[in-house]
Amino acid sequence: MAKISLPFDRETMRSILIQTVSASKCRNGSLRYWLSAGHGDFHLSPSGCAESTFYAIVTQSSTSSDHTGIKVITSSIPIKPPVFATMKSVNYLPNALCQMEAEENGCFASIWLDSEGFVAEGPNMNVAFVTYDKELMMPRFDKILSGCTAKRVLKLSQELVKKGDIRGVSTRDVTVEEGKNAEEMMLFGSGVLVRPIVQWDDQVIGNGNEGPVARALLELLLQDMKSGPSTVRTPIPY
């Protein structure tokens, strides 16, 4: 959609990413990468850019992830239209303002609503709920980013269905009333993994404590990261 040509074929780009992680010696951190139109003039059109450029950076995680319950608020920042919200880009000004708004109000994150008033997503995280009749529900991905962590958790959650911990999983329109009256609420994302929410605006979620489904999903995800199938893990030659 950004109309940027790839500087290398996909397999070469994958090899570059693996080599970057290997060279960093980082075993607990994040790999981020970007595709740019490249250096050139300051006009809007990329026609003045010499060639597309691929960037990759590895960051070491300084501390262990915190998975205690958090508070969120409803964002007053306009959400991006679906055509931009569903793609991963560096158009992060609305996301940054959304996060800053939360921090200014003493909260961990803000929750966006879509143009129809349904629950959408966090600034760079997906949001999910567990109803009192044990349905794990998440907003549909047609207006928001389909996060990799969220999609993986949805797949792993079938283990909880098999065990009877939840009765089913769905992606659908979720009203604010449904969300605030859920038994559990949580965020999914590469930076937070699974983070339980105990209060949304002035509404306490469930009994105000981290819920069992959020804890179970976190354990499933951590186990998947350590010993999951080769389709979701890539060996690094350190």
Residue 107's region, left for phi above 0, alpha for psi from -120 to 50, else beta, is beta
Token digits of residue 28: 């607990």
Dist CA 215 CA 194 (whole Å): 8
Which residues are annotated as catalytic? 88
Task: Quote the tokens at residue 161.
Answer: 């269905």
Q: Which of 208, 187, 203, 190 is nearest to 112 (CA)?
A: 187
User: What are all long-range contacts of 200-209, with beta carbons under 8 Å and residues at least 24 apart?
Assistant: 200/71, 200/72, 200/73, 200/74, 200/111, 201/72, 201/73, 201/74, 205/180, 206/182, 208/69, 209/69
Asked if residues 35 and 8 have their Cβ atoms less than 8 Å apart, the reply is: no
| C-beta neighbour count of 209 within 10 angstroms | 13
Q: Which two tokens stand for residue 4?
A: 């940027």
